Amino acid sequence: MIDPIALASLAVKSIFVENILLAYFLGMCSFLACSKKVETATGLGVAVVFVLAVTAPLNWALNEFLLKDTGLLGVDLQFLSFIVFIATIAATVQLVEMVLDRFSPALYNALGIFLPLIAVNCSILGTSLFMQEREYGFVETCVFGASSGVGWALAIISMAAIRYKLRYSNVPEGLRGLGITMLVTGLMSVAFMAFAGIKL
């Protein structure tokens, strides 16, 4: 029933082939705002992986046991899923912030400023909504959540490295900043599409 090869294939698919940023455009706002420095990008990337790995299974459980008509309440409440998911995400982010502050001040200082940003990062809500739409099981959801985060982190860290190099190039005036970043993202997206042929 749980096929390790199928799970590995799902992981590769969500990291490379269907990268949540480069194929679904999710999480673009923070991607554009925080990709100027590699350190910042790494911090945000790690925070996104962490929050995704926690919220995706949590929202799966809420969807399965509370919102579906086969759940505990026996009523179809799936139209409420947007508000339930976003509340879970906001609460988780707040909770993670407090736990980190208490138990790991070093990590908190590294991630601290990024955590509130993540509550409104589309890739977090998007992953939960994709999970619901594609009807993943629990293990699949865990794998999908974590590897979507890894894919996002990979994209933002490589973007930061490219932008670092871009500082030394002579970009036309109107294209500076956002414009050239979008073009580079386009080229990165082309590169990631090359993974589409990989099948496990």
Sites of contact with another protein (CB under 8 A): 22-29, 32-33, 36, 79-83, 86-87, 90, 119-122, 124-126, 129-130, 133, 167, 172-183, 185-187, 189-190, 193
Tokens 């589409």 belong to residue: 196
Judged by CB, which is closer to another protein: 35, or 147?
A: 35
* DSSP character at residue 169: S
To the nearest whole angstrom, how small is the minimum distance from the Cβ of residue 125 to another protein?
5
Judged by CB, which is closer to another protein: 71, or 126?
A: 126
Tell me the residue type at 109.
Answer: N
To the nearest whole angstrom, how small is the minimum distance from the Cβ of residue 61 to another protein?
19
- Give me 42's structure tokens: 């790494």
How many whole angstroms separate alpha carbon 95 and alpha carbon 89? 10
Judged by CB, which is closer to another protein: 20, or 143?
A: 20
To the nearest whole angstrom, how small is the minimum distance from the Cβ of residue 109 to another protein?
22
To the nearest whole angstrom, how small is the minimum distance from the Cβ of residue 35 to another protein?
12
Nearest alpha-carbon partner for 45 in 133, 144, 121 = 121
- Give me 84's structure tokens: 């339930």
To the nearest whole angstrom, how small is the minimum distance from the Cβ of residue 118 to another protein?
10
Judged by CB, which is closer to another protein: 107, or 162?
A: 162
Sequence-distant (≥ 6) Cβ neighbours of residue 150 within 8 angstroms: 15, 49
Judged by CB, which is closer to another protein: 70, or 170?
A: 170
Judged by CB, which is closer to another protein: 11, or 89?
A: 89
Are 93 and 119 contacting, i.e. CB atoms less than 8 angstroms apart?
yes
How many whole angstroms separate alpha carbon 67 and alpha carbon 65? 6
Are 151 and 15 contacting, i.e. CB atoms less than 8 angstroms apart?
yes
To the nearest whole angstrom, how small is the minimum distance from the Cβ of residue 88 to another protein?
12
